[in-house]
Amino acid sequence: MPEKTERLTFLEYGALLAFAASCRSTCPRAHVGCALFNSEKVVVATGYNGAPPGEAQCDEVGCLMQDGHCVRARHAEDNACKFAGNRSLVNGYAVTTIRPCKNCFDYMARLEIKNMLYLQDYRNELAKDYIDEACVQKGIRLEKLPLNPVKLLQKALDFHQGPGGILVSDYRLSIEEQIPPSMMEH
């Protein structure tokens, strides 16, 4: 029997989807991605930060700054919520690459998402106290995931180099080969 490779957990899967979505970001100030799941952990929508379709993107014409923020790009969570349409997200999950801002937190809370998970803290947490209090009042779990994106990508590569994987070859792919050792410890 061939060696079994470890598949991704649900949270790892959500983090990789959010990370993949962030790779479509058009705002150079922050590449943010979001993956939304229903209560049964089925993916409903993804989103990334960028200007609305058909409009000039930040990476084409520059950011439109107002009060220290880019207002040209919609946030990843906002886009994901719009793309979810009328699908039910009651008691669902949101996985984002960065802790949501107040507006995005409110969008997701209105959809009754009860699990908001993220990979990295937001560099400008003006409404941190508001969000923390709202989580207590509304029974929302807001949690930083203890996942290292580099190790997560390596796990996905390893999985696909095992039985049934699409990367089966004589050469073992490794993202660690290009990343300085100091980066691997974070």
CATH (domain of 125): 3.40.140.10
User: What's the pTM?
Assistant: 0.86
In the DSSP assignment, the letter for residue 1 is -
Task: State the DSSP string of 111-156.
Answer: TT--EEEEEE--S--TTHHHHHHHHHHHT-EEEE----HHHHHHHH
Using a pLDDT cut of 70, give the percent of the chain over it.
88
Q: What is the pLDDT of residue 68?
A: 85
Q: What is the pLDDT of residue 138?
A: 97
Q: Structural domain tally of the chain?
A: 1
- Is there a domain that residue 73 lies in? yes
- Is there a domain that residue 45 lies in? yes
- Is there a domain that residue 3 lies in? no
- Is there a domain that residue 40 lies in? yes
Please indicate whether residue 76 or residue 126 has the higher confidence score (pLDDT). Answer: 76
Give the ranges where the chain is alpha helix by DSSP (H): 10-22, 58-61, 76-84, 102-110, 128-138, 149-160, 181-184
* Overall average pLDDT of the 52-77 stretch: 93
- Is there a domain that residue 183 lies in? no
